[in-house]
Structure 1
Amino acid sequence: MNDQAQAGITGEEDDSAVDPRSASHSLDRHLHAQMARFTRGLAPAALMLAWADWAMHLATSPEKQGQLVSKAFNKAMRLQRFLLSCARNEGCGESCIAPLPQDRRFNGEAWKEWPWNFWSQAFLLNQQWWHVATTGVHGVSAENERQISFLTRQLLDMWAPTNFPWSNPEVLAATRAENGMNLVRGLMNLVEDIQRNAEGRPPVGTEAFQPGRDVAVTPGKVVFRNRLIELIQYSPTTGTVRPEPVLIVPAWIMKYYILDLSPQNSLIRWLVSQGYTVFAICWLNPETVDRDLGLEDYRELGIMAALDTIGAITPEKVHATGYCLGGTLLSIAAAAMARDGDDRLASLTLIAAQTDFTEAGEIRLFITESQVAFLEDLMAERGYLEAREMAGAFQLLRSNDLLWSRVVRDYLLGKRAPMTDMMAWNADATRMPARMHSEYLRHLFLDNDLAEGRLIAAGRPVAIPDIVAPVFAVGTETDHVAPWKSVYKLTLDADAEVTFLLTNGGHNTGIVSEPGRANRHYRMATHHVGEPWLDPDTWIEATPVHEGSWWPAWEQWLARHSSPPGPPPRMGMPRTKPICDAPGTYILTR
């Protein structure tokens, strides 16, 4: 009996004949894409699987259940003792639980008075109980435990007493003082924000920070352009410059002018003033037609094309500098260059950039197989991922600071926080091509191919240990995108001399740290080839703190790896006029 007849008898079909682009597959993809738009890119299946894993293991863990009952009883007793203390002290009893250090919601004096202190204490005790309930359940996978704990925390934060006018004493005081006008202004703010979001317009106040007029104003020229990048060369401001130029590679998920904000806090302007020739890549903001641009395209059309252009302007080696995922891409390019005997790099600086993603922080909560497949279906329809969908994930990581505090301030107190250059830049995000986004999520986050020597560049695998140029790596203490301990792992993986610097601040605020800015400090130490490795906790204890900005320390390191100053190079390539003035045209696309 032939295979076709056998299939007819059994009712089975040949799965190998199913085209993944068939109507049924397209229907699945379309359904997932519509769901993703409603859920802001979060995969319901991933959350349901995490909940099922936790719930089933908890249901078969009587000892854990008993522990939770005991803790609930103890917390009820603590709250009761707090109430008695409040009664004896006329409403201002001694707290029975303190917020976490990063939780500033209940810092106001009003929260220390009755009955608001009761609401805050009850909320914090409840939050602590749920943390115990969602962690330490035997048998639950670490990934699912992180997801269910995170989801529970988000739900609790949504119902915090600070978020409602009747349970927030600061909102009630403002309402009484203003006869409710704060709520009127808040409603107007809400309507305006909804309208702007529906029209795809940026937040209120961003109009005061236009690239090329208010920010990104360091003088320079666009000296090269292809379908993916514009390369900017900045005009010298000193009579002599270091021969080795600096190439800045930003992440493709952000616009480069985070390093060229206002003149007073522009890293690029400051670096030029220190006697360096600076080049910066500005990535294209992709459209549907760019859906098939991948990691290799970004390496070849981005970094390698920029290095070729710089080589036509000056024959000197280059101080290559990458920020965030731009640093990750730069490390791929540097490893491929070292493998192939290309010695055009004088040094490598990686700013808040990871090369090993095993400890990539809470952002991994949104990067599971289910989640990535969900996003791929969303991107397949339009060819790219919207910036606001990625921004939504980052907002959830710091929902108290970036989401709920704004709800209270803008909509309940009726106050608009003054727009800053960094806030305006943060609202000016870029899209990501479907292929690029899928490849970096899978190859870097899910499979960790770069750290494990499987990532392919120019047809062959690359390895971080191949890099021989001296490396300067920067981490920030409170980085929730690239945790500093993850960035620090480069000192373990690289075979080159690695100087690691840890500065205070977050992913962006720690990097934009101009000299003279108050409350800045850093630690710095160099790991030489052959020296014993220090784990992160030992390193931070053994490394002294220096007050001030980290920028001068980096410049001094660059100077040690540079030649004596000489005349500035020409502006642009030989026999070719610069294309236009900085900041170019790609930066202006939304």
Structure 2
Amino acid sequence: MPSKVGPTDKTTDLFAELLMAQAQGALALFGQMLPQSDASVAESERESGDWAESAARLQAMWAEFQVDQMARVSAASPLMDPFQWGQMTETVLRQLPLANPEVQQKFWEEGLALTNAVLGQFGIGQNPAQNPGTEGSEPQLPRSDKRFADPSWRRQPYFAMVHQLYLLLSEQVLAMAENLEGLDAAKKRQLVFATKALIDGLSPANFPLTNPVAIEKALETRGESLVKGMENLLADLRRGQLTHTSPTAFKLGENIAVTPGKVVYETPLFQLIQYTPTTDKVLKTPLVIFPPWINRFYILDLAPKKSFVRWAVEQGITVFMVSWKSADATMADLQWDDYVQAQTDAIDHVRARLDVPSVHTIGYCVAGTTLAATLALLASRGEADKVASATFFTAQVDFEEAGDLKNFIDDHQIEALAQLSSDGIVDGRYLAAAFNVLRGNDLIWSYVEKNYLQGEEHPAFDLLHWNGDVTNLPARWHCAYLRDLYRDNRLVEPGALQVCGVPIDLRRIATPCYIQAGREDHIAPAKSVWKLTRHLSGPWTFVLAGSGHIAGVVNPPHAKKYQFWTNSGEPDSLDSFIAGAQEHPGSWWPHWRGWLESLDETSVPVRGRRKPGGRGDAVIEDAPGRYVATR
């Protein structure tokens, strides 16, 4: 990774200092609240010593961390604030009329009414005869949220009142942002997004002194949970990235990315892996998969039971996978042309290697966007027949309705991202943090609560391991991608963009296409993915899968999870597709395999270079290769 990635993020620093101060205060407070019952003097002294030891360890860890940070020339903290989240907070506070006396009066009146109602559930402030609850029953509170599902939030009046007031104020502030007038649609969406991000970050569940579950855990462990939690926090701050899974649970080539194969070709930008067949015959037309370069390729080759690659090989398909190299300083000048050229290069190499006229292709997410440009380029050159089919996993070409990611795409945000780059490279940790913010409660704050406040160990989860295995990107190309596609939506304007000197017109694509979208996708919304169908001149099949951007794709048939929808009619919108769709249980993978075979079911024996690394076949190394391990 780049050694210098820009100025330290003050929001992350302040958050860490606040957590540490509260943890230290909690240890001091709880240490003075030792039980005064029948415990012996020796037992009380032992407990007092445990609390004192925890407090001393916490203080020593914090002092060591501060010394370490001062010694660093440029401290990177993309952990919580990908693109100057602190400025997003300032925007919320500046634009919302929170200082308006009428607004404050409304907050006060509704807050007071809610407080009285909550306390009344505990018989506080009224005659016991008027108490609507019964002794030992759980209070019936007006608002619920999964963050406060633990009974500890309802057992004591203080914590019940705190989280109910928080939910009330959250509703009011978010409604204020949604109803604010005088902003254009883009600025309005950005304000609402920033407001929700700020509200989520201020939840009482995120701080040790207002989280009863964390307090109970601290009392139970005599402060050890807080010490362990702060160890987790400081480790993440040094790493510059939130940890979602056990860092030692997975190793490439041993328990993830283990499908056998060989690296058969490489360039400075990518390696090409060919997987070893497991059937006697395979489809004549091979498959080339282009994964997104924003993450590692093995999202499609996780643990064997989840591996799309392994499954496809078992279906009698000759599978090739592109493994993109994490960008370093030598790649700073790369542009979109280079990634499109890489795709055409991989296609040509596979055609020559197996002596076949064409290949099937898959493009996942941003690599699918680029695949569409590649197809248009080949069509303009009269070379469209090099690709027999194109499958798009949650890929967008029309970014008009591209979801919450558009909240990071304006001139200010793009400029901020460019300034965060070092040696022309965007540190992948910033991009990971941006994706985490899109689902802040699930991917940030739940881990703050469990791993920092309660000191829990990280789980062993291959998908989360992949999610944290970030890649760096060429800053020049990435900023151009955000500006030209996300912000200006130029890819769907015929001739507005050029690739390798050729104007791009998606209407030239006559290649048969299979388009998969996720019903709950927050990165590439289904409505946005659907729009690809509006720009093709050839036949297409659209499938809507249950779940989201990852689980909607990585859904092996044996798991029997989710469902998918097809529509054999001629829908002209996603709504009409859904209205006339047929639901199918389980994975869409077999449906895709049937579609692939419907194009050409010709099969050939596995011989020669169909099995990589055989006699006379020079290969570079075993899969998963070197590039996937570069940092």
Determine if the TM-score, normalized by the shorter chain, exceeds 0.5.
yes
Which of 502, 525, 529 in structure 1 is aligned with 2:544?
Answer: 502
Q: How many Å apart are 1:369 and its aligned residue? A: 1.0
Cα distance change of structure 1 residues 59 and 32 upon mapping to structure 2, 3 Å threshold: farther
1:505-520 equivalences under 5 Å are: 505-520=547-562
Cα distance change of structure 1 residues 445 and 268 upon mapping to structure 2, 3 Å threshold: same
TM-score by length of 1: 0.85
Q: Is 1:309 aligned with 2:349?
A: yes
Q: Secondary structure at the match of 1:177?
A: helix
Aligned to 1:556: 594
**Quick check: 1:361–1:480 contact (8 Å CA) kept in 2?**
yes
Whichever residue aligns with residue 339 of structure 1, its letter is S
Q: Is 1:543 aligned with 2:581?
A: yes
Aligned to 1:150: 193
Aligned to 1:293: 334
Q: Secondary structure at the match of 1:414?
A: coil
Following the alignment from structure 1 to structure 2, what is the Cα–Cα distance between the partners of residues 84 and 262? Answer: 52
**Quick check: 2:301–2:309 contact (8 Å CA) kept in 1?**
yes
Question: Which stretch of the first structure deviates more once superposed, 108-117 or 76-85?
Answer: 76-85
Aligned to 1:34: 7
Q: Is 1:266 aligned with 2:307?
A: yes
Q: Secondary structure at the match of 2:286?
A: strand
Question: Which stretch of the first structure deviates more once superposed, 86-95 or 125-134?
Answer: 86-95
Question: Which stretch of the first structure deviates more once superposed, 448-457 or 253-262?
Answer: 448-457
Q: How many Å apart are 1:184 and its aligned residue? A: 2.9
Q: Secondary structure at the match of 2:271?
A: strand
Whichever residue aligns with residue 157 of structure 1, its letter is D
Q: How many Å apart are 1:51 and its aligned residue? A: 4.8
Q: How many Å apart are 1:133 and its aligned residue? A: 1.3
Q: Is 1:372 aligned with 2:408?
A: no
Cα distance change of structure 1 residues 148 and 265 upon mapping to structure 2, 3 Å threshold: same
Percent of pairs with identical residues? 34
**Quick check: 2:263–2:623 contact (8 Å CA) kept in 1?**
yes
Aligned to 1:15: none
Whichever residue aligns with residue 344 of structure 2, its letter is M
Q: How many Å apart are 1:586 and its aligned residue? A: 1.1
Following the alignment from structure 2 to structure 1, what is the Cα–Cα distance between the partners of residues 5 and 271? Answer: 35
1:65-84 equivalences under 5 Å are: 73-74=109-110, 76-84=112-120
Aligned to 1:350: 392
Aligned to 2:290: 249
Q: Deviations over 1:199-257 (max 9, x none)?
A: x9987733332222221111111111111111111111101111111110011111111
Cα distance change of structure 1 residues 182 and 74 upon mapping to structure 2, 3 Å threshold: closer
Cα distance change of structure 1 residues 214 and 496 upon mapping to structure 2, 3 Å threshold: same
Q: How many Å apart are 1:541 and its aligned residue? A: 3.6
Following the alignment from structure 1 to structure 2, what is the Cα–Cα distance between the partners of residues 44 and 268? Answer: 38
Question: Which stretch of the first structure deviates more once superposed, 86-95 or 169-178?
Answer: 86-95
Aligned to 1:340: 381
Cα distance change of structure 1 residues 93 and 205 upon mapping to structure 2, 3 Å threshold: closer
**Quick check: 1:202–1:428 contact (8 Å CA) kept in 2?**
no
Cα distance change of structure 1 residues 38 and 419 upon mapping to structure 2, 3 Å threshold: closer
Whichever residue aligns with residue 271 of structure 1, its letter is A
**Quick check: 2:107–2:169 contact (8 Å CA) kept in 1?**
no
Whichever residue aligns with residue 444 of structure 1, its letter is L
Aligned to 1:23: none
Aligned to 1:479: 521
Q: How many Å apart are 1:94 and its aligned residue? A: 2.9
Aligned to 1:432: 473
Following the alignment from structure 1 to structure 2, what is the Cα–Cα distance between the partners of residues 496 and 35? Answer: 50
Cα distance change of structure 1 residues 257 and 204 upon mapping to structure 2, 3 Å threshold: closer
Following the alignment from structure 1 to structure 2, what is the Cα–Cα distance between the partners of residues 413 and 201? Answer: 16
Following the alignment from structure 2 to structure 1, what is the Cα–Cα distance between the partners of residues 582 and 147? Answer: 32
Whichever residue aligns with residue 94 of structure 1, its letter is Q
Cα distance change of structure 1 residues 168 and 201 upon mapping to structure 2, 3 Å threshold: closer
Q: How many Å apart are 1:280 and its aligned residue? A: 0.7
Following the alignment from structure 2 to structure 1, what is the Cα–Cα distance between the partners of residues 243 and 452? Answer: 18
Q: How many Å apart are 1:309 and its aligned residue? A: 0.5
1:37-76 equivalences under 5 Å are: 40-43=81-84, 47=88, 50-51=91-92, 54-55=95-96, 73-74=109-110, 76=112
Which of 152, 158, 163 in structure 2 is aligned with 1:120?
Answer: 163
Q: Is 1:577 aligned with 2:618?
A: yes
Structure 1: 5+ residue runs without aligned partners? 1-30
Aligned to 2:43: none
Q: Is 1:95 aligned with 2:141?
A: yes
Cα distance change of structure 1 residues 430 and 521 upon mapping to structure 2, 3 Å threshold: same
Cα distance change of structure 1 residues 78 and 569 upon mapping to structure 2, 3 Å threshold: farther
Structure 2: 5+ residue runs without aligned partners? 10-75, 124-130
Whichever residue aligns with residue 217 of structure 1, its letter is V
**Quick check: 1:289–1:383 contact (8 Å CA) kept in 2?**
no
Q: Is 1:187 aligned with 2:187?
A: no
Cα distance change of structure 1 residues 359 and 75 upon mapping to structure 2, 3 Å threshold: farther
Q: How many Å apart are 1:46 and its aligned residue? A: 6.9
Whichever residue aligns with residue 186 of structure 2, its letter is E
Whichever residue aligns with residue 244 of structure 1, its letter is T
Whichever residue aligns with residue 587 of structure 2, its letter is S
Aligned to 1:25: none
Which of 568, 578, 582 in structure 1 is aligned with 2:606?
Answer: 568
Aligned to 1:110: 152
Aligned to 1:533: 572
**Quick check: 2:236–2:242 contact (8 Å CA) kept in 1?**
no
Q: How many Å apart are 1:516 and its aligned residue? A: 2.0
Q: How many Å apart are 1:383 and its aligned residue? A: 1.3
Aligned to 2:257: 216
Whichever residue aligns with residue 113 of structure 2, its letter is M
Q: Deviations over 1:452-504 (max 9, x none)?
A: 22121231221222111121111112222111211111223323322222222
Following the alignment from structure 1 to structure 2, what is the Cα–Cα distance between the partners of residues 501 and 544? Answer: 10
Aligned to 1:168: 211
Alignment length (residue pairs): 543
Following the alignment from structure 1 to structure 2, what is the Cα–Cα distance between the partners of residues 584 and 72? Answer: 61
Following the alignment from structure 2 to structure 1, what is the Cα–Cα distance between the partners of residues 401 and 558? Answer: 33
**Quick check: 1:193–1:203 contact (8 Å CA) kept in 2?**
no
Whichever residue aligns with residue 219 of structure 1, its letter is P
Question: Which stretch of the first structure deviates more once superposed, 81-90 or 499-508?
Answer: 81-90
Aligned to 1:8: none
Q: Secondary structure at the match of 1:241?
A: strand
Following the alignment from structure 1 to structure 2, what is the Cα–Cα distance between the partners of residues 51 and 32? Answer: 26
**Quick check: 2:244–2:464 contact (8 Å CA) kept in 1?**
no
Q: Is 1:410 aligned with 2:446?
A: no
Cα distance change of structure 1 residues 404 and 564 upon mapping to structure 2, 3 Å threshold: same
Q: Is 1:463 aligned with 2:509?
A: no
Following the alignment from structure 1 to structure 2, what is the Cα–Cα distance between the partners of residues 68 and 356? Answer: 42
Q: How many Å apart are 1:582 and its aligned residue? A: 1.4
Following the alignment from structure 1 to structure 2, what is the Cα–Cα distance between the partners of residues 248 and 32? Answer: 31
Q: How many Å apart are 1:506 and its aligned residue? A: 2.4
Q: Deviations over 1:438-460 (max 9, x none)?
A: 22111111111112221212312
Following the alignment from structure 2 to structure 1, what is the Cα–Cα distance between the partners of residues 331 and 340? Answer: 15
1:441-456 equivalences under 5 Å are: 441-453=482-494, 454-456=496-498
Whichever residue aligns with residue 170 of structure 2, its letter is Q
**Quick check: 1:471–1:499 contact (8 Å CA) kept in 2?**
yes
What is the aligned-residue RMSD (CA, Å)? 2.9
Whichever residue aligns with residue 261 of structure 1, its letter is L
**Quick check: 1:46–1:371 contact (8 Å CA) kept in 2?**
no
**Quick check: 2:245–2:459 contact (8 Å CA) kept in 1?**
no
Whichever residue aligns with residue 329 of structure 1, its letter is T
**Quick check: 2:77–2:237 contact (8 Å CA) kept in 1?**
no
Q: How many Å apart are 1:98 and its aligned residue? A: 3.6
**Quick check: 2:563–2:586 contact (8 Å CA) kept in 1?**
yes
**Quick check: 2:406–2:486 contact (8 Å CA) kept in 1?**
yes
Aligned to 1:361: 403
Q: Deviations over 1:366-396 (max 9, x none)?
A: 11111112222333x4110001011111111
